[in-house]
Chains A and B, each alone.
Chain A
Amino acid sequence: MESLSETRWHAVIQGTGLQHSLLALALSRSDKKILHVDQNEYYGAADAAFSLQEVDGWVEKVKGDSDEAPFRNAALWKADADDSTDSQQLSFSRAYTLTLSPQIIYTKSKLLALLVSSKVYRQLEFQAVGNWWLYNEADEEPLKRMPNGREDIFQDKSIDNRAKRSLMKFLKFVVDYENQTEVWEAHGDSSLQEFLSSQFQLPPRLQTVIAALTLSFDSPDKIAVRWALPRIARHLTSMGIFGPGFGAVLPKWGGGAEIAQVACRAGAVGGGVYVLGTAVENSHAIEPTEEEIPEEKFSLSLSNGETVRTRHYVSAEDTTAADGIVVSKVIAVVSSPLPSIFASSTEGSPLAAVSVVVFPPNSFSQEGVSPTHPVYIMVHSSETGECPVGQCVLYASTQYTKNSKVVLETTISKFLETSKDNVKLLYSVYYEQQKVPGTSPLDLAFDDQILDNVEEQWKTVLGYGDAEEHPPFMQFADREGMNADDDNDDEY
């Protein structure tokens, strides 16, 4: 192969996070010369997945007030080893795949359609995000399954008939909110809480349920109606699309991290050159001279000492311009398969590999610690391939405050108390993550905006104008050597 400097690149992409990896996938059939670099020795950037050993290295880098934006203040805790049984202890490093990118993907998301049309879905295994739970310490059973549909609501004895009618009215409205602007447009900037109360007479308890579906890091009195309605509608209309009882999926082996790798593999199969551990240190425009107007517009200095010329340069997300939103997160490994959390309530539904547990603001108070913002725990079973059988991985997150670390730790112990088993915390990593423009890694569900960004970048790199005819975005035929009739091979 020619050296990097000798090649006249069509595009250089820096960073292998989800968005840039999807761009590599989109460009994988363009026959353009693509160089994809990442400053890290691993794929995925802020969407990476790690073994325990790799977490150690990562924590070293992002502990304290490091400049490793978007992460900071990482801290690691491990239970002491003792003589208990295997599942009661932390296993070996590579038995774990802990992901920085556990976002669920609603079945309505365009991402799934594009993974199918680009044919890379065959390299992925999707699992159901099945059960949603709501915590309230004041209840006899603090952890309550959230209604999955109308039948559940009808059968729920804790909701009185008047409230049931109000709820039905709201659900009917919200799945059609785009056509019913007269109902909400005037209240677009009001809070969801006020809207549900004044327009639909929903009792506070049901307001909490509805707010949980938005996966907002703000409390219900701070969520704008305009922002909340599409998210609630997305949740409700995603139910049942790929089977009963669930409305979202997650790829096995690390969620977004796995998609990023699969997309980069497609980029490599298409001829893209991949170089890890190499950053673009600076870029400057190549000025036209009298003799030559160069096709390559950028000259990039790489950290490996080489200088490359390229027509297009897609830089890493600008991590310096973070806009102030910070989320606190904990990844925890626990010593139980937590069977009740994953048990199905809907006939014929796949076994949930991921369950969502929502702790609304003030849903508990312990020694002065009480959540001021919603806390979410995504519980991943060993079916996800992220931990050994007999254990689970918890991904907890809440908006950053002075107390958020303690709040997350207390929330996790409150959650573990609801299990009948004696569940031990084996491992936990705390960190803070800032919002980075151009991506939305802080969202707990995959944001389709990322796809719009990718499509824009794809058009720019390939020079497709808006009005021009161009090939459809990420619609690829099967590659030679891949037999389409192998589709059903995995059924037995």
Chain B
Amino acid sequence: MAEATAPKPSSSVKLVLLGEAAVGKSSLVLRFVNNDFQENKEPTIGAAFLTQKCNLPTRTIKFEIWDTAGQERFASLAPMYYRNAQSALVVYDLTKPTSLIKAKHWVAELQRQASPGIVIALVGNKLDLTNESSGSGNALGDDSETDAAEGENDDGDARKVSTAEAKSYAEEEGLLFFETSAKNGTNVTEVFTAIANAIPETSLKGARGPGATQSSANRTEDQSRVNLTGPRDSASKEGCAC
């Protein structure tokens, strides 16, 4: 089925964005998708679906990003977003400890309810409100960990969640971990690239979610897929739904 002309295989990856209100979920996506930042952004209402491509050396990943649209209070969008999602970005605000508690709830919920094998990244946002120039992240290698939670507040450092605390939690739970600034762009692309790299090959190509993860390699995927916008073969075009 592979096209000889196709430069790189391309697959869609569903990503759900979770976290307390006002931690900067939409800003992270806006930075990633448009390389843009809005100060004092209004809470998200609607239009919470965006796509962005991520080019890896061997393949292209198209992220379908689902934002919870400012409705965190009802926790009712998440269940339909994380259904069959291959990845999740759980965001907290590193100046607000309660937002990490909420993030941990989301991680537990994902582990209980989402597709087995979902790639989860824990992201501490608003790094620009700390004194550090660059953030920490496990994909960046071994930044020396400075426990910045204490003693630096008089320098205008608003950090309230230490890197060490969040990182050790992420390691325990097997999560990717980054500290980012949607405002400065620090680590934002890195988060998405790390997620793209962590998606197992077997869960790509339309095979997403439970049941498909262990599909045998010698079987061509998508043999039963039907394309609604044009018949596969030369069957008559008149009946086409478009």
Interface residues of A (CB under 8 A from B): 1, 41-43, 92, 94-97, 107-108, 112-113, 115-117, 121, 123, 125-128, 130, 240-244, 246, 249, 253, 261, 264-265, 268-277, 348, 350-353, 381-383, 385-389, 479-483, 486-487, 489-492
Contact = CB atoms under 8 A, between A and B. Distances in A.
A126 B226 contact: yes
Contacts of B11: 490
24 contacts: A1-B70, A43-B80, A94-B115, A108-B239, A112-B228, A121-B228, A125-B225, A126-B226, A242-B239, A244-B235, A246-B226, A253-B84, A265-B66, A273-B74, A274-B74, A274-B80, A276-B74, A386-B211, A389-B212, A389-B216, A481-B50, A487-B229, A492-B2, A492-B9
Q: What 9 A-B pairs come out closest when comparing CB atoms?
A: A271-B46, A241-B239, A351-B223, A353-B224, A113-B241, A276-B76, A481-B50, A127-B224, A274-B76
Query: What secondary structure prevails in chain B residues at the interface with A?
Result: loop
Which label, helix, strand, loop or mixed, suits the secondary structure of the A interface? loop
A128 B43 contact: no
Contacts of A483: 51
Contact of B10 (A112, A382, A492): A492
B74 A387 contact: no
Contacts of A94: 113, 115-116, 210
Interface of B: 1-3, 6, 9-12, 33, 43, 45-51, 62, 64, 66, 69-71, 73-77, 79-81, 83-84, 113, 115-116, 205-206, 209-212, 214-216, 223-229, 231-233, 235-236, 239-242
Contact of A127 (B51, B83, B226): B226
A113 B238 CA distance: 13
A242 B235 contact: yes
B20 to A, nearest CB: 13
B215 to A, nearest CB: 5
B223 A116 contact: no
Contacts of A350: 223-226, 232
Nearest to A391: B211
A360 B77 CA distance: 44
Given A112-B241, A243-B232, A481-B49, A274 B226 contact: no
Contact of B224 (A268, A352, A387): A352
Contacts of A277: 76
Nearest to B46: A271
Nearest to A481: B50
A269 B228 contact: no
